[in-house]
Each structure stands twice: as structure tokens, then as C-alpha cells.
């Protein structure tokens, strides 16, 4: 593990690290906040997945999670959103595809499949690697994220209900297989057979029988992507009659930015801590 930076914050350690990834075939960077309680005992871990165009740095610098994570004793891990490097395929003029837009899936199509294995990286490789270096209680894991990362968090939770005890999202893409800003990426990553897309679509997973106890979703009503990209009401419809509990909070005047995320970050951390305690 390569140490990029380490800083003390609220009695804990905010670090940025990198390592060689077998899944993504290159160096991957991630951020970790370790609370002071981890000095003496393993602590619950929260995985935060960022949105389109982001890296680990967006939430680390603007998410305002450290004070509450320190108070609650939560380890917060913030992976990158895609593989990086000069040999990694990209579409330089398309922010919805390639670097920064991994969609937390395992690509099957050329040329993307060689590096874009983000589902395997997030669910298998990074947890196995990080847990060797930080005092994580892997029996108490939660996952959350924003936008594309909210999509990733929800689909990963639905596919791994035995691993995660909590899941929440800020403005998630709940049905990426039909959303304007994700259909193109899904076809390029996964091919034209839309049946293959369903395993990475929260609404489709629920309709196909996947279950997770409950979700918390916060959404701004002033979000410019609400109508065409996010559409949380579709997930609200999908979970009806399934036994899945959904708390969907719609907020006047809030947009898609980290001003919105940082406003409700404490609520999400407390919500996860209750379920991980």
C-alpha cells in the first residue's frame, strides 16, 4: 500500500492510499477516515461511492463527514469511481462514459472489460485489501453513495444483503437502464442485451426478487437531474408490497451538489450507526 497523504482530523486519521488492483489492472486510489476509537478496537465500516466525474477527493474535501464519523466511531472508506491510467480506455468528450464513470459494474464488452471491473473491485478486492491495513469490523458494514454512487450502493446492497447491514443514498440513479445519462454507458459496458443490465439496476433487481431490509434516500427537489436521470419515485413504486422499507425524503430548494450532501451527511451517518451498533 502506497501512502499518498495522512492528516489528523477530529482525533482520527484521514488518509489517501493507492495499491495495485488485480481487478482493474492498474493502480487504484482510495481515501479512508479512521476514527480515534479504532486505536483500541475494530470499528464498523461505511463504504461511500461517489458520482459521475468524481474521485475519492470530492466527498473527502466537501462531504463534511469526519466530525460525526469520529463521534460515532465509524471508519469511512471512499473509493475512486473508475480505473485510471494512460492505458485505460476513455471517452474524453463524454463525461458519462469511461474514466470517472465506472457505474460500479463489471464490463463485459471490448475495450472496457479489461479494466472496468468496478463491481468486483468494490465488493471483493478493496474490502479484502483495506481490512488487512485498518482495524475494521467486517461483520458491521454499511454502504452509501451519491448519484451514480447511490446507484452503486443500492445495487450492491441488494445483491449482497448478507454482508451489509445498512444502505442509504443521496440523489441516486434508481433505474439506470432507462435513464438518459446511463443508457449509453450500460450498452457500451454490457452490450445490447438489456437483460444483462438488470443486475446493475436497483428497480429491476427488486422486481426480479432481490431484497434488502430498508433504504434511506434523500433527494433535492431543485436537482436539475431529477426528472430524467434520478426519478426516485420509480424505486418507491418498485418496493411497494415487497417488505422493503423505504424512507424517501424530498427537500425543497436543494440541488445535486455537495452543499446538499454535506447538509444531510450527519443524518446518514447516524442512521447507519444505529444499524451497525
Active site residues: 147, 223, 256
* Number of neighbouring beta carbons within 10 Å of residue 11: 13
CB 172 within 8 A of CB 232: yes
Measure the CA–CA gap between 131 and 128, rounded to whole angstroms: 6
CB 34 within 8 A of CB 75: yes
57: left (phi over 0), alpha (psi -120 to 50) or beta: alpha
Phi/psi at 174 (nearest 5 deg)? -85, -25
The answer to whether the bond into 111 is cis (omega within 30° of 0) is: yes
Placement of cell 440523489 in the chain: 171
Using CA atoms, how far residue 62 sits from 66, 83, 147, 259, in Å, is: 11, 22, 15, 8
Residues 6+ apart with CB under 8 A from 65: 33, 48, 59, 76, 265, 269
Phi/psi at 52 (nearest 5 deg)? -55, 140
Amino acid at each position: 500500500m502506497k501512502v499518498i497523504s495522512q492528516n489528523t482530523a477530529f482525533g482520527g486519521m484521514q488518509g489517501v492510499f493507492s495499491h495495485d488492483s488485480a481487478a482493474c489492472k492498474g493502480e487504484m486510489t482510495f481515501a479512508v477516515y479512521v476514527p480515534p476509537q479504532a486505536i483500541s478496537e475494530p470499528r464498523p465500516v461505511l463504504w461511500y461511492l461517489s458520482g459521475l466525474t468524481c474521485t475519492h477527493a470530492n466527498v473527502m474535501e466537501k462531504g463534511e463527514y469526519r466530525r460525526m464519523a469520529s463521534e460515532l466511531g465509524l471508519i469511512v472508506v471512499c473509493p475512486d469511481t473508475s480505473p485510471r491510467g494512460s492505458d485505460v480506455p476513455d471517452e474524453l468528450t463524454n463525461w458519462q462514459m469511461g474514466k470517472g464513470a465506472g457505474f460500479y459494474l463489471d464490463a463485459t464488452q471490448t475495450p472496457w472489460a479489461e479494466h472496468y471491473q468496478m463491481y468486483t473491485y468494490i465488493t471483493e478486492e478493496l474490502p479484502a485489501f483495506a481490512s488487512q491495513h485498518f482495524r475494521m469490523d467486517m461483520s458491521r458494514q454499511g454502504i452509501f453513495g451519491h448519484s451514480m454512487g447511490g446507484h452503486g450502493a443500492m445495487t450492491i446492497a441488494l445483491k449482497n444483503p448478507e454482508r451489509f447491514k445498512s444502505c442509504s443514498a443521496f440523489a441516486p440513479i434508481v433505474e439506470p437502464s432507462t435513464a438518459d445519462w446511463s443508457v449509453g454507458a450500460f450498452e457500451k459496458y454490457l452490450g445490447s442485451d438489456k437483460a444483462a443490465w438488470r443486475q446493475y439496476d436497483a428497480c429491476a433487481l427488486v422486481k426480479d426478487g432481490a431484497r434488502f431490509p430498508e433504504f434511506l434516500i434523500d433527494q433535492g427537489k431543485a436537482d436539475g437531474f431529477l426528472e430524467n436521470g434520478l426519478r426516485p419515485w420509480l424505486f418507491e413504486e418498485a418496493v411497494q408490497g415487497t417488505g422493503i422499507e423505504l424512507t424517501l425524503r424530498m427537500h425543497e430548494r436543494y440541488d445535486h451538489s455537495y452543499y446538499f450532501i454535506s447538509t444531510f451527511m450527519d443524518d446518514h451517518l447516524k442512521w447507519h450507526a444505529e444499524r451497525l451498533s
